[in-house]
Chains A and B, each alone.
Chain A
Amino acid sequence: MSAGPLATFESSLDELGVDLAQTTSDQFESTLVPLLNAPAVGAQLPFENVSLPDTVETDPTVQELEKAETGVTAAGYGIADYGSVVIQGGPEGKEPVSLYADKHVAVIAASDVLPDMDTTFDRLAEDIRNDTGQAIIATGPSATADMGALVKGAHGPMDVTVVLLGDR
């Protein structure tokens, strides 16, 4: 018997060097705040009774975006086998917010952690056919080996943290 998706997700993230914080909607803010390096930017979260603290700028200018240390967005899915998070970009700004800051904090509902790529693509296909035009399967930080050694944080974040909402 293989481990459940959540346990697999946890160990996959661990292998990637991605921090995982498990919480509930009650505890969300107190879990999130210590993870934020100021200045922080964010895109509104789609979870009921869960919102971003005021210190997180949700309507950043280009300059604020580029200066941001932390970017907080929701992720549509997690993929247990790979430790990936799926960022479904749209008008609310998840794409730039998850990409420009040095650190990306991805908030994800435990019920949205899918076991594998097969299941994920079935869901993605449905979403894309229903007009969700953009999905980034993000696995660990941005990286490059083009400069003669592996460097984390190429054009994108060098650090990723996943916040898992256990009651969602």
Chain B
Amino acid sequence: MSVDNRQQKAERIRHLLDTEGDNVHENTQVFNDGRYESTAHLDDYDRLKDEARAIKEDAIERLPELLDQVTEAVETNGGTVYLADDTADANRYITEVAGGRNVVKSKSMTSEEIEVNESLEASGADVWETDLAEFVLQVADEAPSHIVAPAIHKSRKEIADLFNVYFDPEEPLETAEELTQFAREYLGEKIRDAEVGMTGANFITADTGTLALVTSEGNARKSVQATDTHIAVAGVEKLVPTIEDLQPFVELIGRSGTGQDITSYISLFTPPSDSPTFGEEGELGPGDDRDFHLVLIDNGRMEMREDDQLRETLYCIRCSACANSCANFQHVGGHAFGGETYSGGIATGWEAGVHGQESAAEFNDLCTGCSRCVNACPVKIDIPWINTVVRDRINHEDATEFDFLVEGLTPDEEPGGMDLQKRLFGNYATLAKLGSATAPISNWLAGTKPVRMLMEQFMGIDRRRDLPKFRHETLRKWFKTRGGSRVSPADAKREAVLYPDTYTDYVQVERGKAAVRALEALGVSVQIPEVASSGRAPLSQGMIETAERHAHEVYADLAGHIDAGQDIVVIEPSDLAMFTSEYEKFLADESAERLDNNSYEIMEYVYGLLENGASGRELRGGDGEEVAYHSHCQQRTLGLEAHTVAVLSELGYDVLTSETECCGMAGSFGYKREYYELSMDVGSELEAQFQAEDARNRTVVASGTSCLEQLESLLERSSQHPVQLVDPAK
């Protein structure tokens, strides 16, 4: 990315933070909190998710067969099915069916994807969006910023101002009730006058040709009931085999999206509908000669189905949980975190599939891979992985004929056309090794103004962010100098390999030393062998090939230790997450499983030792010390926050945990010039909580490297890893 592009991007993000950020934040937060609450009430949330996922897997697998089946079912009912290859094909067909008659629409992202309004209007039709949010956007001439609540970025006041100027009502509109009532009446007239009703479909059952529409307002029902022709547009991926298959989705979709147990209306239409329609002269007439057209849109989806990495995108039920649970999305919304149509975490997959990589490239880097969306997704899509894959493809797409000139700059096999900034962060392990070898000169040099300016200009590293200070004496060197473990294997209760992640080894050496002493205090014999870096850094820059190579190296380095019955103890949560999640993609199943089964986060391991009878007497007790603890995104996804809290509490610390789930830093993200301000904006919530009266004087602890760095920049007081608190030497 050029300096100018970076500058432009930073400005655009700043603008959205200022103008739309607050509204998006407030509303997505409500949705996200609602999701937690509502899914907690489900007896068997995980079973439902598994069921939903299995149905989608099966449906996409059998898609061609289901397409034939639904065509037969709809035609038997008296409707028509049209399979549209692309946008132009879909629009041509729809415009022909509408024949210039007036159209009322209920909300449909698929119809946004093909921009059907423009083509209908060009044919002389009057088109009205009847979903109130879409109506607002139609009046404002804006694009949706969220897939479920498209006008989420607008406040009541902004809507009122918009309506008062546009419609010039006798009495200015002010309250949400007045605005709703006005829109209902205005659109009521449009619905009465229209002859064509257009809807999307959240699901379509292949066996009966039934459309399931998940709605709240009632406008979809009116648009179908009051008109003589119903056109439903949907992506081909919306097919599920049978009516019974709708059940898990009906229970999951509202909870996942807006946090409602169920939305007001789940409409199951098996068109053509025979409910009375609005006939001539104000009579309710028989509805049994309604015309129905189901337009199923391919537009790249069948190709996505063939694509091993993008296929999972088709399992998406467009609930928006990935957007609502994403800290970056919560702050900037879909006008930054979105492409031509789709926004939020899964949008990268959709945009790459239906509009092409270029559209995905615009916002793909806003996914930091924090994985908070993974547990939120009701069909268990590994969204960060899709984003990484697309990032990797974008990197390769940028390769140019001049690649050979810079190929030597970095030791990996990734293409030279790749952004210099990404190459730098992706090769952090190499940089750390160099920086440490030349410390403290490297630190001094990197801290000087001219160097910071050059780094900002050429690599886009924001000069407002402090750089990590490399330590000349690495953790491994220290450990060797002290003569290895103080507990011999013969006397040990257990033997552990402390994984020397790049940061702990070269930068945050103190937390490594503390971990060694804590483990020894619990009777564990410790080793710190040379092990390759996990590959997290290259992975997050989309350098999959490099990350995969690291995975094989790590496994080769650790397999012997596992064979010898040693446990692998990891300090950095994002590295543990690599071992337990991403390595599945890189290693043979059995290898990945072995590494996963034998790897533990440091505090999880301490917890296990204490639970199994180890005495914590030698660890430093809290004696009521007040602590403010921030867990780590990926650590939470793995369900490991509780272990740290339990250990600290057991040792007598008074622990307050952060309610904000994200510090905003996420690996290299907060260093980048274009994202620095967003990173700080996200972090401001954590800052506010830890600066509040009940937390202001507490000792700050955090598990992740990036979290610690962000906390250092947010707070006056310094922070440390929890294992440093309990360090017996302290």
Contacts and interface: CB of A to CB of B under 8 A. Distances in A.
Interface string B13-34: 0000000000000010000000
B273 A121 contact: no
A124 interface: yes
Contacts of B470: none
Interface string A126-168: 0011000111111111111111111101111100000000000
B604 interface: no
A122 B159 CA distance: 43
Given A142-B218, A148-B176, A121 B261 contact: no
A90 B262 contact: no
A157 B184 CA distance: 11
Interface stretch (A22-30, A31-39, A62-70, A106-114): A62-70
A144 B266 CA distance: 15
A165 to B, nearest CB: 23
B9 interface: no
Contacts of B187: 155
A91 B286 contact: yes
Contact of B222 (A129, A143, A155): A155
Contacts of B179: 147-148
A98 to B, nearest CB: 9
Contacts of A99: 218, 221-222, 225
B538 interface: no
Contacts of B275: 89-91, 93-96, 134
A31 B273 CA distance: 32
A144 B179 CA distance: 11
B527 to A, nearest CB: 53
A7 interface: no
Contacts of A129: 207-208, 243
Given A95-B221, A146-B136, A151-B180, A125 B242 contact: yes
A136 B273 contact: no
B603 interface: no
B626 interface: no
Contacts of B216: 142-144, 154
A2 B180 CA distance: 40
B267 interface: yes
Q: Which of B261, B276, B286 has most chain A Cβ within 10 Å?
A: B276
Contacts of A153: 180, 184
A93 B275 CA distance: 6
Q: Which of B131, B261, B271 has most chain A Cβ within 10 Å?
A: B261
Q: Which of B157, B183, B265, B274 has most chain A Cβ within 10 Å?
A: B265
Interface stretch (B148-156, B412-420, B485-493): B148-156
A59 B270 CA distance: 24
Interface of A: 59-63, 65-66, 82, 84, 89-91, 93-96, 99, 117-118, 120-122, 124-125, 128-129, 133-151, 153-157
Contacts of B263: 139
Nearest to B250: A117
Contacts of A90: 274-275
Given A65-B284, A95-B225, A155-B222, A142 B156 contact: no
Contacts of B560: none
Interface in B111-147: 130-133, 136
Interface of B: 27, 77, 130-133, 136, 149, 151, 154-157, 159-160, 175-177, 179-180, 183-184, 187-188, 192, 207-208, 210, 216-219, 221-222, 225, 242-244, 246-247, 250-251, 258, 261-271, 273-276, 278, 282-284, 286-288
A117 B250 CA distance: 8
Contacts of A63: 282
Given A82-B261, A145-B149, A147-B176, A128 B217 contact: no
A155 B149 contact: no
A124 B247 CA distance: 10
A44 to B, nearest CB: 13
Contacts of A137: 250, 262, 265-268
Q: Which of B217, B219, B251 has most chain A Cβ within 10 Å?
A: B217
Contact of A62 (B219, B266, B283): B283
A1 to B, nearest CB: 14
29 contacts: A59-B284, A66-B188, A89-B273, A95-B275, A96-B284, A121-B243, A121-B247, A133-B274, A134-B267, A134-B268, A135-B267, A136-B221, A137-B262, A137-B268, A139-B265, A142-B216, A142-B265, A143-B264, A144-B180, A144-B216, A145-B258, A147-B132, A148-B160, A154-B216, A154-B217, A155-B130, A155-B187, A155-B221, A156-B218
A141 B265 CA distance: 9
Given A133-B270, A155-B184, A146 B133 contact: yes
A82 B262 CA distance: 8
Contact of B247 (A82, A118, A134, A145): A118
A150 B275 CA distance: 30
Given A125-B244, A133-B269, A84 B262 contact: yes
Nearest to A148: B156
B266 A134 contact: no
Contacts of A117: 247, 250-251
Contacts of A94: 275
B250 A143 contact: no
